[in-house]
Amino acid sequence: MALKYLMDENVDPVYSTQIRSKRPDLVIRKVGEIDTPALSTLDPEILLWCEEYDFVLVTNNRKSMPVHLIDHINQDRHVPGIFILNPNQSIGKNIEELIVIAECSFEREYQDRIIHLPLT
């Protein structure tokens, strides 16, 4: 089963659009869409949502997300994973990376981990 992604609100909307057009079978949601956390939701609440609905968070947040993840884990909670996009890599390359990872990953492979792209 492929990973499901929640795109943080600060991730360029082209990510969701392009992944959906290239791989309509992948589940991609964006903060602020129906049935996702509302825009301006705090990161700890987004992690709770990702845990509840089994979504990997895709974000640009390199600074505070590691702290939020540690706090989340210290509360005996878990997340399927957090992927941090590479600002030095083109959007197209980041998208390709996300698609390959979604297709080729094992269940819980990235649980409670922050992964900086590129992985491959």
d(CA 45, CA 37): 8
Q: What CATH number is given to the structural domain containing 40?
A: 3.40.50
Q: What is the pTM of this model?
A: 0.95
The pair phi, psi for residue 59, each rounded to 5°, is -145, 165
Q: What is the pLDDT of residue 107?
A: 84
d(CA 80, CA 56): 5
Q: What is the pLDDT of residue 64?
A: 87
Q: What is the mean pLDDT of the chain?
A: 94
What single DSSP character describes residue 118? Answer: P
The pair phi, psi for residue 86, each rounded to 5°, is -95, 115
Total domains present in the chain? 1
Q: Dump pLDDT digits (tens) for 15-49.
A: 999 999 999 999 999 999 999 999 999 999 999 99
Q: Which domain holds residue 61?
A: 4-116
Enumerate the β-bridge partners of residue 56.
5
